[in-house]
A and B are shown apart, each in its own frame.
Chain A
Amino acid sequence: MPTIDPEAVVGSRITNQSLSRWLHSLPGVDKVGLEARTASLGTRSIKTDSKAWALDMAIKMMDLTTLEGADTKERVRSLCLKAITPDPTDLTTPQPAAICVYGDMVKHAKEALGKNKIHVAAVATAFPSGRASLPVKIADTKDAVNAGADEIDMVIDRGAFLSGNYLEVYKQILAVKAACLRKDGTRAHLKVILETGELETYDNIRRASYLAMLAGPDFIKTSTGKVSINATLPITLLMLQAVKDWFDQTKIQIGVKPAGGIRTAKDAIKYLVVVKETAGEEWLTPKYFRFGASSLLNDVLMQRQKLTTGHYSGRDYVSVD
């Protein structure tokens, strides 16, 4: 995988001052304009073949998630079986990209998935608050990687970001990325959660996206799903614009994962429209776009059944997970 020289991108040795200067030189974001553009893309009418394509792609891009204190081995196993056979009445239904769980559930998920190519993603780094010392975050990450996690979803230190300590945020991402290395030299994929709901402004979200991208993750991700504002369409558009601009500048392609609050197939299709018309077709693959979701899958399955059979079924015709 190609890498970048962070100092060349920032134009200076990496210090908190240079990072601050770099991030604050990015163009601002006009809230009204961004939300108007998003609303306009939301009126795209996706029908017939393109709808069928979008529904299948939405499933393939899904990180099917359970992140509850009450999670058990059985709960995780049940979710994995759902991922393996999302719709027993239609075996052409694609499988989701990954199962997303807490670190201690990784081994149960791996066991349940067996040889299946569905990935296991683990949240780490004192998810969701990120309030722990760096050694604890690194240990958390290594624990999940050693248990067999294919992907790590880390959180950034929002406190450090909001207090202007960009260097700290950057160094932590680098440290966690290093902790993703496996003994065989391969590396677990890294998704960096910005927790956009806590950054609050679009300007902050753009800066956090750039700061995260500088550390070289595979994905930037909106949210933990644990705060009141999670993924929204304008935030996702903004982050897609950021990865697109980053690619134009560095030739490095980074993925985007909105997570939390995407519950309907209709919403998922709007996200795909935004991906296509912001970042471009190159991002319309599970390699570069994911949905962090749980209840979304069943709604997509119901819409899929409607397209194949011509009539709506009910909630009892898809399995609870």
Chain B
Amino acid sequence: MFDYSPAPESKDLVKFQASYGHFIGGKFTKPANTFSTINPATEQVLAEISHGTAKDVDSAVKAARTAYEKTWSKLDGATRGKYLYRIARIIQERSRELAVAETLNNGKPIKETRDVDIPLVASWFFYYAGWADKLDYAGLGANPKAHGVVSQIVPWNFPLMMLAWKIAPALAAGNTVVLKPAETTPLTALLFAEICQQAELPDGVVNIVTGFGDTGAMMVGHPDVNKIAFTGSTDVGRIIAKQIAGTDKKATLELGGKAANIVFEDAALDQAVEGIVNGIFFNQGHVCCAGSRLLVQESVQDVVIKKLKARMENIRLGDPMDKNTDIGAINSKEQLTKIDRLVKQGIKEGGQAWAPSCAIPKNGFWYAPTIITGVSPANTVVREEIFGPVLSVMTFRTPAEAVAKANNSQYGLSAGVWTEKGSRILKMADQLNAGVVWANTFNQFDPASPFGGFKESGYGREGGRHGLLSYLKGSN
């Protein structure tokens, strides 16, 4: 029959060095104190990475401070914009290489890095390049000022995209940065360091320090850092908030989520099913705004679940480098263990788990796309962020009940509403406590649109004019 033959993208498109130091003051340091970074789909080692020490963090912050005072803050906006445009174009030129690198180090399918991650990375730099000489119109009055040196810590789920969300607005606003990629996915950030060199960005404007949580904590605690931007778990966000309490450091925290995806009986059901799949199985569910709680109106529950299961049978799990793969590898063993533990807890609490029949590769970390039915707002799988390809399914009877259930969460990052009735979309968007509400779509990102959450999903906004404001202060 019509089985798709393997269609793998070439691994040779990217050449990693055997080991990497930190990128400080425009140069790579000598690798030291190294740990291995692997391909989670094969568990093969890709490179050795340096674990940043207090000394490394200090020299990175110093380099950023020097660059801020001597060069970056003295450049006019148009010139800063020129560098950002140049970076954006190099990213486009090297997009295939970056897509392959991201897939190898993260485990997400090449289809997504090629069609989503890398194009968004470039678009973020293009968008904020345009802002660099228009800061007077950001909403703070004339001559707004940069904060200075910013420590940025990004997660492993969209390594290069999160870097772009952080670095592009920071640089456009005139800050210099020290950025730490996640310990499991440092490689595209290190390739980005090469891109900074290629773009002849002044030394020290962007510094990349690799390492674990302790390195991040040193970046947050360093006295000469003016602002912290963090994307990651709510637990770590809390630690950061405590750590900077009582200082004048500013912070933007983009944390966890447990989004409700609400399907009304009058929705375009086939497209709603696509939206459910895209909402929770995109990027293996490693998405802070993933639609992990499906709320479906009781009258269409059976048909939606039936269609969803049929659709899930077509999901292709496997080699992330294959162009036809829909679900790749789980990023780490640790994450896989967490997903497994939470699903088992869900079953123990009375939920019924279902997954399509798909072959799981021998090596690497994998989790089949799973839905859990028969659960209620009291269950762990409905309350806790699983951060994996696992969907909890609940029902509702009326719009008011849908709102009540959707808002019954410690998080408030995103939500989805599926209905053919326009007025209902507006009313739901008004009542849902979520930073982003998608109507008849899900997981759409655009650099011009602000993104961020309520409650334990964090504070501050990224993207759009609002995202720029996070990196600026008024001139008085």
Contacts and interface: CB of A to CB of B under 8 A. Distances in A.
A36 B7 CA distance: 22
A30 interface: yes
B269 interface: yes
A151 to B, nearest CB: 24
Interface centre among B2, B3, B323 (most CB of A within 10 A): B2
Given A27-B266, A43-B323, A44-B324, 16 more contacts: A29-B270, A30-B420, A32-B440, A33-B271, A33-B272, A33-B275, A36-B274, A37-B274, A45-B323, A47-B4, A47-B6, A49-B5, A50-B2, A50-B5, A272-B2, A284-B1
Interface stretch (A51-59, A298-306, A309-317): A51-59
Contacts of B270: 27, 29, 33-34, 241
A276 interface: yes
A4 interface: no
Contacts of A51: 5
A241 B342 CA distance: 35
A192 to B, nearest CB: 22
B206 to A, nearest CB: 33
Q: Which 8 A-B pairs have the closest CB atoms?
A: A33-B271, A45-B7, A30-B268, A45-B323, A30-B271, A27-B269, A50-B5, A28-B420
B342 to A, nearest CB: 29
A50 B271 contact: no
A119 B6 CA distance: 36
A33 B5 contact: no
A33 to B, nearest CB: 3
B5 A27 contact: no
A33 B440 contact: yes
10 contacts: A28-B267, A28-B420, A29-B270, A32-B271, A45-B4, A45-B323, A47-B4, A47-B6, A49-B5, A53-B2
Interface residues on A, range: 20 to 34
A271 to B, nearest CB: 12
Interface in B255-312: 266-272, 274-275, 306
Interface of A: 27-30, 32-34, 36-37, 43-51, 53-54, 57, 241, 248, 272, 276-277, 281, 284
B345 interface: no
Interface in B1-51: 1-7
A190 B31 CA distance: 72
B111 interface: yes
Given A50-B3, A50-B5, A29 B268 contact: yes
B441 interface: yes
Contacts of A33: 268, 270-272, 274-275, 440-441
Contacts of B111: 43
A39 to B, nearest CB: 10
Contacts, number: 71
Nearest to A202: B268
Given A32-B441, A43-B115, A48 B5 contact: yes
Nearest to A244: B310
A95 to B, nearest CB: 20
B198 interface: no
Given A45-B7, A51-B5, A29 B314 contact: no
B419 to A, nearest CB: 10
Nearest to B274: A37
A276 B2 CA distance: 8
A54 B314 CA distance: 18
A27 B7 contact: no
Given A34-B271, A277-B314, A54 B2 contact: yes
Nearest to A269: B2
Contacts of B1: 53, 281, 284
Interface string B389-432: 00000000000000000000000000000001000000000000
Nearest to A284: B2
Contacts of A53: 1-2
B348 to A, nearest CB: 33
Contacts of A49: 5
A102 to B, nearest CB: 33
Contacts of B271: 29-30, 32-34, 37
Interface in B303-349: 306, 314, 323-324
Contacts of A46: 4-5, 7
A146 B270 CA distance: 42
A127 B82 CA distance: 61
Contacts of A248: 306
A289 to B, nearest CB: 11
A55 to B, nearest CB: 12
Contacts of B267: 27-28
A147 to B, nearest CB: 36
B268 A45 contact: no
A35 to B, nearest CB: 10
A56 B245 CA distance: 68
A49 B7 CA distance: 11
A100 B334 CA distance: 60
A47 B314 CA distance: 19
Nearest to A46: B4
Contacts of B115: 43
Nearest to A53: B2
Contacts of B324: 44-45
Contacts of A36: 274, 441
B4 to A, nearest CB: 5
B310 to A, nearest CB: 8
Contact of B2 (A34, A47, A48, A281): A281
Contacts of B272: 30, 33
Given A28-B266, A45-B7, A57 B2 contact: yes
Interface string B423-447: 0000000000000000011000000
Contacts of B275: 33
Nearest to B419: A28
Nearest to B269: A27
A28 B5 contact: no
Interface string B75-91: 00000000000000000
B108 to A, nearest CB: 15
B273 to A, nearest CB: 9
A47 B5 contact: yes
B462 to A, nearest CB: 24
Contacts of B6: 47
A96 B115 CA distance: 36
A51 B266 CA distance: 40
Nearest to B275: A33
Nearest to B267: A27
A83 B444 CA distance: 47
A136 B272 CA distance: 44
Nearest to A26: B269
A211 B428 CA distance: 34
B264 to A, nearest CB: 11
A27 B274 contact: no
Nearest to B311: A277
